[in-house]
Amino acid sequence: MSLRLPSEIVVEDVLPTLRALLARELADRGLTQEAVAGHLGVTQAAVSAYVSGDPDLEPRIADHPRTEATVERVAGGLASGEMDGYDALAEVLELVRAFEDRGPVCELHEEAMPGLAGLGCDLCVRGANPELRTERAVLDDVREAARVLATSPGVAAAVPNVGTNVGTALPDAAEIADVAAIPGRIYEMGGRVEVPANPEFGASEHVATTVLSAMAVDSERRGAVNLATDDAILAAAESRSLDRLAFEAGYENRGERLVERFEARGAVPDVLYHRGAFGIEPITYVLGETGAEAARLAAELVADAAGT
């Protein structure tokens, strides 16, 4: 993975596009190429290439509504004399900072450094800090969990028709957005487990609801993975002396009802399952201290159930 700073993205992708758009807009307002060059701090030859040629524009910058509004405002101010270079710079800096905060610069940065995917440009905005390291550790744990599911024999056959997912919560998780999971769920295709995307926070309501319910009673239970309910898997859990709990399949106030069940029994189970209902596929949740731990346990239960 190449090491690129967000400032490099701005210099190489954002500023050339902004200069080209500003040059065209200023020329359209009647300024000479020499005057445009003076305002933009480039050569007249560069302005000629911007105006008469076919410059390479970054579409995510050029086509963004904020870019259009800023270019029109800056060009109008410079052309009328209501803005000087300082004012124009302030406008462009405001645009760049907006784009660095979960905007197009963040997208371009993630493409250059895929390891940043799912961090929402927090590294650029907030810098390296303990909170960000914790978030990254959670995302890494879900990646590991997805790898376990994708590479463990037999897991594909245990994936529900609606797909599966695996989640890990932040230590102080309080809402769905604090639980990382795989966007779009994990599916079985051709006998293989397919993971469609990198993990993101807030990507799975059902897994997150289960994890948050578990954490309300046991703060150490921060991970879960769901499988299709199967008697052989439940029997494998029983043979391992894992704590199992059946619950109703309805989803109305499910989180609250799960917390009530957990509190009544004084513990969070290792395996939580239901037998389905009209329009609801039978699902089993395997819980753990992290999503990766839950995925490893799930893979072991699948192997036990298959007798391997």
Is 143 found in the same domain as 285? yes
Q: Which of 79, 96, 123 is the last residue of a domain?
A: 123
Number of independent structural domains in the chain: 2
Confidence label for 41 from pLDDT (cuts 50, 70 and 90) = confident
CATH of the domain at 164: 3.40.225.10
Among residues 186, 110, 184, 173, the alpha carbon closest in space to that of 138 is found at 173
Q: Residue 249 has what pLDDT?
A: 87
Among residues 6, 14, 10, the alpha carbon closest in space to that of 61 is found at 14
Within the chain, residue ranges assigned H as helices are: 6-9, 15-28, 33-40, 44-52, 59-62, 65-80, 85-100, 104-112, 122-126, 130-151, 205-217, 231-239, 254-265, 291-306
Convert the pLDDT of each residue in 196-219 to its tens digit: 998 999 999 999 999 999 999 999
- Asked whether residue 163 carries a pLDDT value surpassing 90, the answer given is yes
Q: Residue 265 has what pLDDT?
A: 93
According to DSSP, the residues that pair with 179 across neighbouring strands are 169
Most confident of 2-16, 34-48, 294-308: 294-308
Residue 236, in any domain of the structure: yes
Q: Which of 102-116, 140-154, 264-278 has the lowest mean pLDDT?
A: 102-116
Q: For the chain, state the CA radius of gyration.
A: 26
Q: Residue 122 has what pLDDT?
A: 57
| 3-state SS, residue 162 | coil
Most confident of 22-26, 85-89, 99-103, 170-174: 170-174
The domain containing residue 242 runs over which residues?
Answer: 130-306
Residue 188, in any domain of the structure: yes
Q: Which of 123, 141, 167 is the last residue of a domain?
A: 123
Convert the pLDDT of each residue in 78-135 to its tens digit: 999 898 888 888 888 888 888 877 678 777 877 777 766 655 555 555 555 566 778 8
Confidence label for 250 from pLDDT (cuts 50, 70 and 90) = confident
According to DSSP, the residues that pair with 223 across neighbouring strands are 168, 288
Q: Which of 17-26, 116-125, 141-150, 254-263 has the lowest mean pLDDT?
A: 116-125
Q: Which of 93-97, 139-143, 179-183 has the lowest mean pLDDT?
A: 93-97
Is 141 found in the same domain as 103? no
